[in-house]
Amino acid sequence: MPTYDFICNNCEKRFDVFMTFSEYGKKPVHCTFCQSDNVRRRMTKVRIAKSDERRMESVADDFSGFEGLEEDPKALGKMMRKMGKEMGEELPAEFDDVVDRLESGQSPEEIESALPDLGAGSGDE
């Protein structure tokens, strides 16, 4: 059942009300603190959850597949930045460093030689 946020115009306190979609707009809402019906709906941020698969599809849609990215460091950097944002996870500072270097036109080989310790201790060895 959805939660709707309200603010009381009398006591100015915020409160939540649980009601079904069909009840919304029909069921009277009263402040849970002072019982006033002089309330207004508080607009909150909306977050849409995407599956990992849909996130990767979104990245692929923007880049028409991944062909030719290895020859275009700037496009590769742009794709990696979008992928990082789509994942919605905190990424290490090294990620931003590599993406910044790619977006400036540095090749993956140049980055690898400039950052020899990149990926050390990742457990992939």
H, E, C per residue of the chain = CCEEEEEECCCCCEEEEECCCCCCCCCCCCCCCCCCCCEEECCCCCCCCCCHHHHHHHHHHHHCCCCCHHHCHHHHHHHHHHHHHHHCCCCCHHHHHHHHHHHCCCCHHHHHHHCCCCCCCCCCC
Residue 20: pLDDT over 80:
yes
Side chain identity, residue 32:
T
* Domains of the chain with bracketed CATH: 3-41 (2.20.28), 52-114 (no CATH)
Which tens digits make up the pLDDT trace of 33-87? 999 999 999 877 655 666 767 766 766 666 665 566 667 888 888 878 877 777 6
